[in-house]
Structure 1
Amino acid sequence: MEFHEVVKDRYSCKGFGPGKVPAEKLNAILEAGRLAPTAKNLQEQRIYVIQSEEGLAKIDAATPCRYGATTCVVVAFDRNNTFTYPGGKRNSGVEDASIVATHLMLAAANEGVDSCWLNFFDPDKLAEALGLPENEEILMILDLGYAAEGTKPLPNHASRKPLSETVAYL
């Protein structure tokens, strides 16, 4: 698929059917995340693929927003392996994990796999439920699967502000 079409057509799927994401498509999606840029190439991302009934039940206990997805990808980062920016107020953890997650989301659309970026959950409680190391912080969950029949983008999906409202040339 052409890149402009991928970014224009992808939407947050709020209803998944029962079909599983084939391994080759999931691997292509995960590879796109692996190739994402990170500060100083630290690659602090940690990706957890959840497909088991037990794992999906833990996702369901953390959020009402799985929407029936058969695969969830939890994107986290290693807090002990980030780059601290000049001034010492920020580090690269959230930023780099967000870039990785965006690569995953767009790669899913490119593979014909629907997705939904989730952040409606308590990351500390989910990390504990999944048994993640204490040095890892969860950024988001990415639902993956195929839209159930009749599922479509929200009515405001194509509504975007004009560039003149969001961009300034200095």
Structure 2
Amino acid sequence: MAFFELAKKRYSVRQFKNQPVEDDKLKYVLETARMAPSACNYQPLSFVVVTDEAAKTKVISSYNREWIKTAPAIIVVCGNHKESWHRGDGKDHCDIDAAIAADHITLAAADIGLGTCWVCAFDSKKCHEALKLPEYIEPIVLLPIGYPEEDIQPQKKRKELDDLIRQNRW
């Protein structure tokens, strides 16, 4: 599939079929995340794949919405701020690296018929505890993943391109 068509196809899925995701498909999307660029190639990321129902319940308690309970798996994109690149002014690029990797996962998932939804508005401390993460690892994004209940292709609301572009200056 051409990249632009794939980008248009991807949408936030909030209702999943009661069907597990095959291990080879999970590995495929995680492999695309592994290939994602990171600042100075430091790769300060880890991916916790949560499929066990008891473990999922604990993670879901950090984002208690009914729809997420339908996801057969949740990929928790985690960052290591000790290993991430920090710009000269101190800006930490860990979250940016995590976002790029998460985006690779969402696009790869859409390419093979899976759906995802970015979840950032979760209780990071609760998720950290649920996964028993080391103190220096931060859960940055929850990505519920699975087969969409319906392939609805919602109309995406996007600004016009001309509203986003500035040429040579603001």
Scaled by the length of structure 2, what TM-score is found?
0.92
Question: How far did 1:67 drift?
Answer: 4.6
Equivalences for residues 135-154 of structure 1 within 5 A: 135-149=136-150, 152-154=152-154
Match of 1:124 in 2: 125
Q: Tell me the amino acid that sits aligned with residue 60 of structure 1.
A: I
| DSSP-derived class of the 1:13 partner | coil
Alpha-carbon contact 2:62-2:127 (below 8 Å) kept: yes
Question: How far did 1:33 drift?
Answer: 0.3
Provide the C-alpha distance between the structure 2 equivalents of 1:20 and 1:6, rounded to a whole number of angstroms: 23
Match of 1:27 in 2: 27
Provide the C-alpha distance between the structure 1 equivalents of 2:125 and 2:165, rounded to a whole number of angstroms: 35
Q: Tell me the amino acid that sits aligned with residue 75 of structure 1.
A: V
Question: How far did 1:24 drift?
Answer: 1.5
Match of 1:49 in 2: 49
CA separation of 1:46 and 1:53: change in aligned 2, threshold 3 A: same
Report sequence identity in percent.
33
Match of 1:87 in 2: 89
| DSSP-derived class of the 1:141 partner | strand
Alpha-carbon contact 2:9-2:153 (below 8 Å) kept: no
Q: Tell me the amino acid that sits aligned with residue 72 of structure 1.
A: I
Provide the C-alpha distance between the structure 2 equivalents of 1:144 and 1:7, rounded to a whole number of angstroms: 17
Question: How far did 1:116 drift?
Answer: 0.8
- Which runs of 5 or more structure 1 residues have no equivalent in the other structure? none
Question: How far did 1:59 drift?
Answer: 2.2
Provide the C-alpha distance between the structure 2 equivalents of 1:60 and 1:73, rounded to a whole number of angstroms: 12
- Which runs of 5 or more structure 2 residues have no equivalent in the other structure? none
Alpha-carbon contact 1:14-1:67 (below 8 Å) kept: no
The aligned length equals 166
Pairwise CA RMSD of aligned residues?
Answer: 1.4
CA separation of 1:105 and 1:144: change in aligned 2, threshold 3 A: same
Match of 2:161 in 1: 163
